[in-house]
Amino acid sequence: MRLRNQLLILVFSVLIPAFLASILAVWYVYKEEQAAQEKGMTEAARAFSLLVENELYSKAKILQILANSPALVRNDLREFYYYAKTMAPNPETTIILLDKRDHQLINTRLPFGSELPKRRPSNINEVMERYGETRPLVSDVFFAPVGKRYDFIIQVPVMQGAEIRYFLVMGVNVAEIQPLLVQQNLPARWLGVIVDRKGVIVARSREPDRFIGKASEDSVQKLFSSQSEGIVRTVTLDGVPVKTFFNRVTFSDWTIVLSIPEAELRRTPIRVAAFLALFMAILLGASFIIARSVAARVIVRMDQLGLSAETLGRGEEVWYQHQGLVEIDSVGDRITDASKQIRQSKLELEQRVAQAVAENERAQRSLLQAQKLEALGRLTGGIAHDFNNILQTLSTSLQLIPYTNDKSRIESLLATCEKAIDRATILTGQMRSFGKVQDTRLQTVRLTETICTAMPLLKSALPSSIDLVVQPDEALWPVTIDPLQFELALLNIVINARDAMVDGGYVKIAVYNKTILEPIGSLAQGDYVSISISDNGSGMSAEVLSKALDPFFTTKGLDKGSGLGLPQAYGFATQANGTLILDSVEGKGTTVTMYVPRTTLEVSTVHVEEGVPQKSSGRGTLLFVEDDSLVRVSVEPALRAAGFQVLIASSGEEAVAYLESNQSIDLVFSDIVMPGNVSGIDLARIVKSRFPHIQIVLATGYTETRVDMAGVRLLAKPYKINEAINLLTEAV
């Protein structure tokens, strides 16, 4: 078969399904347009019912306000009568007070003291039997004999303790509901109606004077009473076939009805579908004509391309003449230099493979080194607090020596340094007894930026056979974390996923906001940012899954893993006051989900200005709380030299006693980890709750408790004394 015929068959094979698809598309558009109209009208009926409910509820609120009138509490009916007249929404509104025997006591439509009607013309008693007496109720429409008009009433009980004392009733003219329909600006052929429980018309957008008070058809009444909302085809009282959308007003059990002529509902979908059908027909016809013309021109150019291919097959140099068709000319050009490009591509491919292998080996060595360093940090981290106190003592003493000419003072500072050095010698021998690292340098960030920063590192850890897909939410909540620990956790999880996919696959990182409504394990209710890392690797067995978070547990060879990857990620999540959940199915893949709590802090970076402390830079009374005597001895003179009036406390309990007895304290500078029942964080909470005018700065070299209190500044040990004084001066 010739290429021309094959191209024509191809065109028809495309156009015929396209034509059928066009017919289905037109039908689909018609149906979707109708469905959209029905949905829009259903929502309009629901919104209108809420509008009517708010109108009725606002009148009931007036009665509830009257029910709490002091005059009514005192049983001063005359005073209450005039108060009720002033509270009536308009002169046409009637306020009636009845006793429990249904006898009228006052009626604002009649002068006070006049003879009052003996019975009520409404069906409120039936409504009370149905719904009870203790809630606000709305009657159906009735003809008021006094006002000679159609009214309805709203009734609320007046309670005395747990018993009903009176009933307050508001008589409302149905004409007050009519403006709600008028405000909707319904098209002229549309019909809006409000009916009561019995199907009697309360308000109507067209000819209200003619139809208000008339009952709907029995079938429509039964439908409205059996369903709270819906769509039905009916005929209006003036004989127009319509599609009716109705919705019940919860407060009163009335029904909102929107009726639209069916011919008008069909008009818009038919127009849209007809326009789409015409457009598709024109498009298909033009496509066929163009395709046939293009096919003829392609045949001629393909013949020329075939000649060039024959020349290339004979091993001769090809001189291709351009035919004016980009795709065919491109093929001809590539045929011309095919052999040269093949050789060049082969060389480049070999170089890239060698480079990728070298980069992968370097990344593995770097990762192994990082895991070794992390293991070392786990073994030595617990000593950080005491060691940082030693560094603080040395740093402060050495910084103060250049600023004093007193020989005895210099000797005292040097003696303090010698004591610190002796203490450091003892501590270094105990470093193997400790094993947890705590980093106090936290930042409030949005994980979108942090993940973008880590992407080059994550991609370099994966071979080309594994796809890395990142799906971050665009509006992530801020979190307070150590960004470096977070990046390391991501890297450890991604590397585990890589090792589980020998034949390639994908790693997907999904980051999104999640509100926890029910506790999940140790995870409390609240707002969190969820980081989910999934792969389609080999997965884990139940036995391996139960031990996966144990430090140093690994299923890899001795030279391929340290067993600290997942434990590090778990440690990061728990230190961030969140958790890590591990889910894996053997043979199907693994999902690691970290939850980090949302923070109320602003995303920002705090910079502490450095500079030489001036003697007059500090002001006010400062309470310095530090359990380490060496730190107290070295830091106190510097604080005094800066201009602060310094009080010293060696424990949290002593600091609380100072705060309760001394009203002149302006600033508290406290260590976090201290012996006793009151830590630095406990002291900060006491200051924030009982002494809010006092500023507080916390300093520490190690703590297991997260500091997340607004207005509390942090200073990591060891710190330079000028940094501390500048921060304290700024805080006052």
Q: Which of 260, 282, 316 is the last residue of a domain?
A: 316
Q: Quick check: 318 pLDDT over 80?
A: no
Instruction: Please report whether residue 591 resides in a domain.
Output: yes
Q: Is pLDDT at 426 greater than 50 in this prediction? A: no
Residue 268 counted as domain residue: yes
The DSSP 8-state label assigned to residue 383 in this structure reads G
Residue of 366, 367, 421, 431 whose CA lies nearest to 394: 421
* pLDDT for the residue numbered 676: 87
Distances (CA, A) of 688 to 322, 602, 666, 685: 82, 19, 13, 5
pLDDT at 647: 93
Q: Is 615 a residue whose pLDDT tops 80?
A: no
Judged against a pLDDT cut of 60, whether residue 730 lies above it is answered with: yes
pLDDT score at 520:
80
**Residues contacting 17, CB < 8 A, separation 6+:** none
Give residue 563's pLDDT band: very low, low, confident or very high (50, 70, 90): low
Question: Which of 214, 139, 199 shows the shortest CA–CA distance to 171?
Answer: 139
CATH number at residue 555: 3.30.565.10
User: Tens digits of per-residue pLDDT, 101-125?
Assistant: 888 889 888 888 888 877 677 888 8
Tell me the C-alpha distance between 560 and 412, whole Å. 54
Decide if 435 is inside a domain: no
pLDDT at 430: 37
More confident residue, 359 or 654: 654
CA pair distance 303, 674, nearest whole angstrom: 90
CA distance 556 to 312: 53
Assess contact for 374 and 435: CB atoms under 8 A: no
Evaluate if residue 463 carries a pLDDT over 70: yes
**Span 37-85, pLDDT tens digits:** 778 888 888 888 898 889 888 988 998 898 888 888 888 989 999 998 8
> Which of left, alpha, beta for 102 (phi over 0: left; psi -120 to 50: alpha)?
left
Confirm if 568 and 506 have CB atoms less than 8 A apart.
Answer: no
- Percent of the chain at pLDDT > 90 equals 17
- How many helices (H) and strands (E) are present in the chain, helices listed first? 20, 23
Q: What are the pLDDT digits (tens) for 344-387?
A: 665 788 888 888 777 777 666 555 555 544 544 444 444 566 67
Q: Which residue has the tokens 């500048």?
A: 726
Average pLDDT of the residues of the chain: 80
Give the pLDDT confidence of 679-696 residue by residue, as tens digits: 999 999 999 999 999 999
The answer to which of 26-35, 88-97, 214-223, 553-562 has the lowest mean pLDDT is 553-562
What is the spatial distance between Cα 297 and Cα 54, in angstroms, rounded to a whole number? Answer: 72
pLDDT value of residue 378? 44
Of 328 and 158, the one with more pLDDT: 158
SS3 helix, strand, coil % of the chain, rounded to 5?
A: 50, 20, 30
Residue 384 lies in a domain: no
CATH number for the domain that contains residue 224: 3.30.450.20
Residue 419 has pLDDT above 50, yes or no: yes
The pLDDT value given to residue 600 = 86
Task: Flag whether pLDDT at 239 surpasses 80.
Answer: no
Q: Note the pLDDT of residue 467.
A: 92
pLDDT tier, 651 (very low <50, low <70, confident <90, very high otherwise): very high
Label each residue of 581-649 as H, E or C. Answer: EEEEECCCEEEEEEEEECCCCCCCCCCCCCCCCCCCCCCCEEEEECCCHHHHHHHHHHHHHCCCEEEEE
Does a structural domain hold residue 332?
no
- The CATH number that applies at residue 710 is 3.40.50.2300
The pLDDT score that the predictor gives to residue 157 is 92
Give pLDDT tens digits for 244-301. Answer: 888 888 888 899 888 888 777 777 667 766 777 777 778 777 776 776 676 666 676 6
The pLDDT of residue 434 is above 50: no
Alpha helices in 463-564 (DSSP H): 483-499, 542-547
Does 704 share its domain with 577? no
Cα–Cα dist 639/634, whole Å: 10
Residue of 177, 178, 223 whose CA lies nearest to 197 = 223
Q: State the maximum Cα–Cα separation within the chain, in Å, rounded to a whole number.
A: 123
| Residue 107, beta-bridge partner list | 96
SS3 295: helix
Domain co-membership, 592 together with 637:
no
Q: At what angle do helices 262-313 and 326-336 cross, to 10 degrees?
A: 30
- 667 neighbors 694 (Cβ within 8 angstroms): yes
**Model pLDDT for residues 395-405, shown as the tens digit of each residue:** 888 888 887 88
Q: Could you report the per-residue pLDDT of 473-523, keeping only the tens digit for each?
A: 888 999 998 887 888 889 889 998 998 898 899 999 999 999 999 888 778
Q: Are residues 561 and 694 in the same domain?
A: no
Q: Is residue 343 part of a domain?
A: no
Give the pLDDT of residue 655: 92
pLDDT value for 283? 76
Residue 402, domain member (yes or no): no
* Highest mean pLDDT (candidates 209-223, 402-416, 670-684): 670-684
Identify whether residues 549 and 645 lie together within a single domain.
Answer: no
* Over residues 411-430, mean pLDDT: 68
CA distance 301 to 573: 64
Half-sphere exposure of 569 (CA within 13 A, CB side): 24
Residue 590 and residue 475 share a domain: yes
Distance CA 593, CA 457 (A): 20
Do 146 and 57 lie in one domain? The reply is yes
Q: Are residues 661 and 592 in the same domain?
A: no
pLDDT digits (tens, 9 = 90+) for 135-153: 899 999 988 877 788 889 8
Q: Does 583 share its domain with 723?
A: no
Residue 216 DSSP symbol: P
Do 644 and 497 reside in the same domain of the chain? no
Instruction: Report how many domains make up the chain.
Output: 3
Regarding whether 240 and 101 lie in a shared domain, the answer is: yes
- Residue-level pLDDT at 469: 92
Q: Which domain holds residue 234?
A: 1-316
129 & 248 share domain: yes
Preceding amide of 121 cis, omega within 30: no
- Sheet of 579-585: strand order equals 466-472, 505-516, 526-535, 589-597, 579-585
486 in a structural domain: yes
How, if at all, do strands 104-107 and 229-235 pair? unpaired
Residues 74 and 220 in one domain: yes
**628 or 298, greater pLDDT:** 628
Q: List the single range of 115-119, 531-535, 589-593 with lowest mean pLDDT.
A: 115-119
**Spatial separation of the C-alpha atoms in residues 568 and 664, rounded to whole Å:** 46
What token pair was written down for 499? 């090792």
- What's the number of CA atoms in the CB half-sphere (13 Å) around residue 453? 11
| Residue after which a domain boundary falls, among 581, 597, 613 | 597
